[in-house]
Amino acid sequence: MESGLRAQKILDIKYRHIKEDLEAGLEEIAVKFEPFEYSKKKSAGFTFLGKRTAGLIHELIAKGEIKTKPDSPIIPLTYISIYFAVTRAGKKAGLDPKIQLNDGLRKYFENALDKADLDHDRKMVLEGHLAGIRAKHYTGREWDELRP
């Protein structure tokens, strides 16, 4: 996923978190976790699923592989199963075993935001780094402002 979320947070996404934008037919789907998720030390971040992921979700719903009940998971897997799959893929690709693959995906997301030349505080909101006073209190957190 192109969200920049931590691996476990991706697995925590339920249908209710994406329902509003998905059913509205928006191309970029906001992942709207419960409010307490944005006040933790390792906050979820204000994030979106892109056009490609939205299309895949629509396909999987049509096939019945993703259910549309509020608590239905979008990815019905466990963290450990994904960890082993990513580790196995890294070995097959001949990657250095010291590389932390899950964190590498988050770093890739962060680098993509850098290349997009976003305002630093807005970037911090998208990454879930809300501890900074300026980002926490002075940067807009409206989904439609962050969507582009």
Every domain of the chain and the residues it spans: 7-146
- Residues 20-49 as b or e (16 or more Cβ within 10 Å = b): ebbeeebebbbbbbeeebbeeeebbbbbbb
Contacts of 17 (CB under 8 A, 6+ apart): 31, 32, 33, 74
Q: For every one of its 148 residues, what pLDDT tens digit does the chain have, with 9 covering 90 and above? A: 456 777 888 889 999 999 999 999 998 899 999 988 877 777 777 788 888 889 999 999 999 999 999 999 999 889 999 889 888 999 999 988 888 877 766 677 677 777 877 777 776 666 666 555 444 444 445 666 666 6
Model-level pTM? 0.71
